[in-house]
């Protein structure tokens, strides 16, 4: 997988500033005040930093923005990256400052003169999140990212504080790699193998194959993969870092490629359907992050891995399938397949693990993109408490999320003349009726939330924390929610 840039934490040695041959980063407050490290850079560069801090260009920069001064006189550095940041920044501002640095970072070593600046760990997190490129399918050797040397007055404290965020960044990268991977490489079998390899991190991983899924009665899930030669699977990942309490459950939709089945999608844009396993990718990234940072919580992650293809055995519109729960579903549209995968895995998660709460993630509906665009994921929940916990975590991590309604009033759209329900409710309120469908497979007493991430899992332009492509949205927010609410 793509590995985050490496960090080295050292005490401040200003004599090394002049001879560093890569890029040098210094921080300047909005007032233009220079700290000790910045004053050294200013002296070496014959006052260039001070002149820039007094310029209109600096005044017009927003908090956390950065600008590079190329090839400064009096220094061996290729450039000085000047970051506008308060000495005691908010966590979000510090993280965004790191992102600004990451955007400007080239493939040479980066020297960050953090000094006594607050939130240096969040600056590291921002750098790590932004320095990402998916090169797995490129024939040429990938460019070196260059390490990061961070000099601070208390480097041991910064290193300790940065350990968990950098572990989470690795989880984000895992999610991005999975979501970016083409479907002929990330098959259901390859996906399961990558998850099984995480036993080396201390996770317990179990792969349920089709005969076991048949025996369990996961017929709605299996119906999605009937047209494909790729075997359908469910992978269960358990992290047992807490006590004897029941785990929190994360459930992900893992459609490794979605043609729409016999309800075939248009050709234009179908290549993007490699990302339809984004929900499973997020669950996998969260589980990796929890294991890497040794979270003191019990969490189980379950992903349903299928491929939705047309074929002689493919599910037909009009077929009726019986779920693991026992409810019958009339398949009106085979392109509304993600909810069929989730229905069985949600029910299985509750029956087997009896979790304290449950969140599922899926690139479920185009309707959520119409409603929220690519800035926010849709949050549907039967629990104000769980919804509030997640929304707070998402806000703290600057991952856009917005609560959407659920109501029995929408159930009439799912009524079927021949079965207990239809799998679609028509165009009106399409993302809501999808949530209503999923809620039928959630016990009344189970705190549950459904995150529709169709608009945020993979995007066509840069986001705040990632280059275009897979974003890894949700890994940081879910990790934060677990850390804040479910760790002993």
Residues taking part in catalysis = 265, 339
Question: Which of helix, strand or coil describes residue 288?
Answer: helix
- C-alpha–C-alpha distance, residues 15 and 20, integer Å: 10
Question: Which of helix, strand or coil describes residue 324?
Answer: coil
Pull the structure tokens for residue 264.
Answer: 């075939």
What are the C-alpha distances in Å from 114 to residues 12, 35, 240, 262, 277? 8, 10, 36, 57, 39
Contact 272, 321 (CB under 8 A): no
Contact 158, 152 (CB under 8 A): yes
- DSSP letter for 273, please: G
Contact 357, 249 (CB under 8 A): yes
Contact 154, 126 (CB under 8 A): no
- How would you class 239 by CB atoms within 10 Å of its CB: exposed for 0-12, middle for 13-18, buried for 19 or more? buried
The β-bridge partners of 358 are 249, 448
How many helices (H) and strands (E) the chain has is answered by 15, 19
352-369 in b/e form (b: 16+ CB < 10 A) is ebebbbbbbbbbbbebbb
**DSSP codes of every residue in 83-100:** EE--SS--HHHHHHHHHH
Torsion angle, alpha carbons of 47, 48, 50, 56, to 10: 150
> What count of other Cβ atoms lies within 10 Å of the Cβ of residue 269?
8
The β-bridge partners of 379 are 403, 451
Q: Is 256 left (phi over 0), alpha (psi -120 to 50) or beta?
A: alpha
- C-alpha–C-alpha distance, residues 373 and 370, integer Å: 6
194-210 in b/e form (b: 16+ CB < 10 A) is bbeebeeeebebebbee
- C-alpha–C-alpha distance, residues 166 and 283, integer Å: 18
Question: Which of helix, strand or coil describes residue 307?
Answer: strand
Handedness of CA 332, 337, 343, 348 (dihedral sign): positive
Pull the structure tokens for residue 466.
Answer: 């990632």
- DSSP letter for 320, please: E
- C-alpha–C-alpha distance, residues 269 and 334, integer Å: 18
């Amino acid at each position: 997988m793509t590995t985050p840039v490496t960090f080295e934490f050292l005490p401040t040695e200003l004599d090394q500033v002049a001879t560093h041959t890569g890029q040098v980063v210094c921080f300047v407050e909005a007032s233009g005040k220079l700290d000790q490290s910045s004053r050294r850079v200013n002296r070496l560069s014959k006052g260039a930093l001070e002149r820039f801090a007094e310029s209109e260009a600096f005044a017009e920069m927003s908090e956390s923005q950065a600008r590079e001064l190329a090839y400064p006189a009096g220094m061996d550095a290729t450039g000085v990256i000047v970051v506008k940041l308060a000495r005691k920044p908010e966590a979000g501002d510090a993280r965004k400052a790191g992102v600004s640095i990451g955007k400007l970072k080239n493939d040479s070593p980066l020297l960050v003169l953090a000094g006594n600046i607050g939130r240096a760990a969040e600056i590291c997190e921002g750098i790590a999140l932004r320095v990402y490129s998916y090169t797995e399918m490129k024939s040429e050797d990938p460019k070196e990212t260059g390490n990061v040397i961070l000099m601070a007055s208390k480097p041991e404290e910064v290193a300790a504080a940065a350990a968990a965020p950098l572990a989470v960044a690795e989880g984000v990268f895992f999610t991005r790699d999975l979501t970016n991977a083409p479907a002929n490489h990330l098959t259901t079998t390859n996906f399961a193998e990558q998850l099984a390899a995480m036993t080396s991190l201390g996770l317990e991983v179990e792969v349920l194959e089709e005969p076991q899924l048949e025996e369990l009665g996961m017929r709605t899930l299996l119906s999605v993969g009937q047209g494909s030669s790729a075997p359908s699977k469910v992978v269960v990942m358990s992290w047992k870092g807490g006590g004897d309490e029941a785990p929190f459950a994360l459930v992900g939709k893992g459609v490794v490629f979605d043609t729409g089945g016999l309800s075939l999608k248009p050709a234009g844009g179908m290549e993007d359907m490699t990302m339809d396993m984004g929900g499973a990718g997020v669950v996998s990234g969260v589980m990796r992050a929890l294991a890497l940072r040794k979270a003191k919580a019990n969490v189980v992650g379950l992903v349903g891995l299928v491929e939705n293809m047309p074929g002689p055995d493919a599910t037909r519109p009009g077929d009726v399938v019986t779920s693991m729960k026992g409810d019958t579903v009339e398949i009106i549209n085979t392109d509304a397949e993600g909810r069929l995968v989730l229905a069985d895995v949600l029910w299985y998660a509750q029956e087997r693990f009896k979790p304290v709460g449950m969140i599922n993630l899926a690139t479920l509906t185009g309707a959520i993109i119409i409603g929220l665009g690519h800035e926010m994921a849709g949050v549907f929940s039967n629990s104000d408490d769980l919804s509030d916990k997640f929304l707070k975590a998402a806000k703290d991590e600057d991952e856009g999320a917005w609560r959407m309604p659920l109501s029995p009033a929408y159930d009439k759209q799912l009524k079927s003349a021949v079965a207990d329900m239809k799998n679609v409710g028509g165009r009106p309120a399409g993302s809501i009726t999808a949530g209503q469908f999923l809620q039928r497979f959630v016990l009344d007493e189970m705190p549950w939330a459904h995150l529709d991430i169709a608009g945020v899992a993979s995007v066509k332009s840069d986001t705040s924390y990632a280059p275009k492509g897979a974003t890894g949205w949700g890994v940081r927010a879910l990790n934060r929610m677990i850390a804040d609410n479910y760790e002993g």
